[in-house]
Amino acid sequence: MFNETAYQLGIAPSGIRQLFAYGMEQAAKIGAENVYDYSIGNPSIPAPKAVEDAIKDILASVDSIKIHGYSKDAGIESVRAAIAENLTKRYSMEIKASNLFMTCGAAPGLIAVIKALLRNKDSEVIVIAPYFPEYKPFIEANGGKFVLVPADVGEFQIDLVAMEKLINKNTVGVIVNSPNNPSGVVYTEETLKDLGEMLDKKGKEYGHPIYIISDEPYRELVYGDAKVSFIPNIYRNTVVCYSYSKSLSLPGERIGYICVPDCVDYGKELYAAVSGASRISGHVCAPTLMQMVIERCVNEKPDLKAYDDNRKLLYTELTKMGYTCAMPDGAFYLFIKAPGGDAIAFSEKAKFEQNLLLVQGDPFGCPGYLRASYCVSNAMIRRSLPAFQRMIDQYK
């Protein structure tokens, strides 16, 4: 009756959301303190106080028609200028307001860039496992071919040898997501340099640039000494898709941007195509009040102590028990090798026997692994440790 792709996506239950819903039901039955819910990546630290102050200040000082009125599709000039200044300072690359396009979060930004790059029905976009599962429908339902690079299950960097073999004349872009969901790993500067050199070489070989689409919602969520490179500094044909969902804990407010730096080949044309692609997805402007909030909070940093404490506690305790995990330098995920090797069996057992909710790695393109979102209370982690112990004991 209806568009089959849209219908199937509408009825397809997201495994993560299903697990989260199960956790809520169990909590109602046996008490929230007895359910260890690591299912969902919803920030558990509040937005900085500066956000609330900014909203109040805007209401008190700006005309209502301006606060809530349309902005240009690319966003309010002064907001983009403030973000550009912040980026320029931090990454020693001149970014201008005109390089930025404000979006309703990272998802529509990514889709606009993907759509802009899909020049014909044979166009291919490369994704690196493990990956955020929505990339697949974002590419396929918008007319592109989804090409998957298998995971480097050692270090969770990028298997460049495998990727190089997958590149052909139809390759238009590669999605890079670092810090990574679900692995929590940050790609090293070396990995990104090698990636950039390879893409440069292949681009020359095929006579057109192969763009990196850098999906960066977790850019500011990084711990210890880990460093998140600004990829345009390493590979010039990089378009950045950013979101304030995680960095300012504003996931529901739908605010982010696309950055097409001047160094990008055919950057002006790509920016125009991104703007046109946004328009046919229903973009009119990013929410105006939130744009103004970002202008006032552009230099705010998230208070990561809670996440970092969780990260250390969970990583240390689980590895002590004998679990193997990727080194989680960023985001708020721990990617755990399933004892016994069968992540589906393990997660079902953990769910039904221990009320321990871990997401299976299969939809992330990485079977045999489990994702734990540690944006939870530290107390919940402590309470959950005996359940983790009981689970691994069964596999010893």
Which 310-369 positions form the footprint of its own copies (CB under 8 A)? Answer: none
Q: Which tokens sit at 313?
A: 């506690």
C-beta of 72: minimal distance to its own copies in Å?
9
Here's the x/- map for its own copies, 226-255, by CB under 8 A: it reads as -----------------------xxxxxx-
Q: Which tokens sit at 25?
A: 């039901």
- Binding flag, residue 281, its own copies (CB under 8 A): yes
Nearest to 221 by CA among 258, 184, 183, 182: 184
Segment lying near its own copies (by CB under 8 A), choices 81-89, 106-114, 227-235, 343-351: 106-114
Nearer residue to its own copies within complex by CB, 100 or 273? 273
Nearer residue to its own copies within complex by CB, 49 or 165? 49
- Binding flag, residue 274, its own copies (CB under 8 A): yes
Segment lying near its own copies (by CB under 8 A), choices 26-34, 97-105, 318-326, 351-359: 97-105
Nearer residue to its own copies within complex by CB, 229 or 278? 278
Nearer residue to its own copies within complex by CB, 13 or 154? 13
C-beta of 188: minimal distance to its own copies in Å?
30
| Among 98, 170, 189, 208, contact with its own copies (rule: CB under 8 A) | 208
* Concatenated DSSP letters of 19-79: HHHHHHHHHHHH-GGG-EE-------SPPPHHHHHHHHHHHHHS-HHHHHS---TT--HHH
- Binding flag, residue 377, its own copies (CB under 8 A): no
Position of tokens 């057992």? 349
Which 148-207 positions form the footprint of its own copies (CB under 8 A)? Answer: none
Q: Give me the torsion for CA of 157, 160, 165, 166, rounded to 10°.
A: 50
- Binding flag, residue 1, its own copies (CB under 8 A): yes
- Half-sphere CA count of 289, side-chain side, radius 13 A: 17
| Among 63, 92, 154, 379, contact with its own copies (rule: CB under 8 A) | 63
- Binding flag, residue 138, its own copies (CB under 8 A): yes
Using CB atoms within 10 Å of the CB of residue 154, give its burial: 0 to 12 exposed, 13 to 18 middle, 19+ buried: exposed
Nearer residue to its own copies within complex by CB, 255 or 314? 255
| Among 24, 28, 32, 59, contact with its own copies (rule: CB under 8 A) | 59
Q: What are phi and psi of 172, to 5 degrees?
A: -110, -25
Q: Per-residue b/e over 51-72, b at no fewer than 16 CB within 10 Å? A: beebbeebeeeeeeeeeeeebe
- Binding flag, residue 118, its own copies (CB under 8 A): yes
**Angle of the 305-321 helix axis to the 378-393 helix axis, nearest 10:** 20
> How far apart are alpha carbons 135 and 107 in whole angstroms?
9
* Concatenated DSSP letters of 129-191: SS--TTHHHHHHTTT-EEEEEPP-TTTSS--HHHHHHH--TTEEEEEE-SSPTTT-PPPPHHH
- Binding flag, residue 16, its own copies (CB under 8 A): no
- Binding flag, residue 24, its own copies (CB under 8 A): no
Segment lying near its own copies (by CB under 8 A), choices 98-106, 319-327, 334-342, 381-389: 98-106
C-beta of 354: minimal distance to its own copies in Å?
26
Segment lying near its own copies (by CB under 8 A), choices 4-12, 212-220, 332-340, 358-366: 4-12
Residue 277 carries which side chain, given as an amino acid letter? A
| Parallel, antiparallel or unpaired: strands 359-360 and 356-357 | unpaired
C-beta of 340: minimal distance to its own copies in Å?
33
- Binding flag, residue 80, its own copies (CB under 8 A): no
Tell me if residue 357 falls in helix, strand or coil. strand
Biggest CA-to-CA distance, the chain: 66
Nearer residue to its own copies within complex by CB, 117 or 127? 117
- Binding flag, residue 275, its own copies (CB under 8 A): yes
| Among 43, 182, 203, 232, contact with its own copies (rule: CB under 8 A) | 43
- Binding flag, residue 379, its own copies (CB under 8 A): no
Q: Which tokens sit at 286?
A: 């990013």
